Amino acid sequence: MTIGDVAARFGLATHVLRHWESMGLLSPARVEGERRRYAPSDLYRVAVILRAKEAGFGLDDIREMITTADSGERRQILRHHRADLARRIAESQAALALIDCALDCDHEDFADCADFQAAVATRIGPVQV
């Protein structure tokens, strides 16, 4: 596949793929005057990069993860990012619960609702009166 084909398949600009290549994340084959040709394995690599970015990995972290020859180091990188992603998911779930609480509230102003205030209080912590 050409760089344009791959870019279109993933909804990316071609310069993104070139940048990833310059960072060592991709290494497509070269043919006819140095034109890039992407193999099926390159498509999987692009998909991995996109998923990792969605999970909060930076490009340097992705490069480190996919280029390290040390499986123990790779696992450590993954553990670190898994913990960070789990934390962010928990925070998002708490935010979603807060929104649901506000939507379910019968008060004219949900900020006056005791249930809503209790849900927010976990974020505030102890308050001295």
* Whole-prediction pTM: 0.71
CATH of range 1-67; options 3.40.50.2300, 3.20.20.70, 1.10.3720.10, 1.10.1660.10: 1.10.1660.10
Q: What is the pLDDT of residues 31-85, one digit of tens each?
A: 887 899 999 999 999 999 999 999 888 999 899 888 888 999 889 988 988 998 8
Supply the pLDDT for residue 45.
95
Q: What is the mean pLDDT of the chain?
A: 90
Supply the pLDDT for residue 77.
87
Query: Is residue 87 within 8 Å of 77, Cβ to Cβ?
Result: no
DSSP one-letter code for 36:
E
- Map residue 101 onto helix, strand or coil: helix
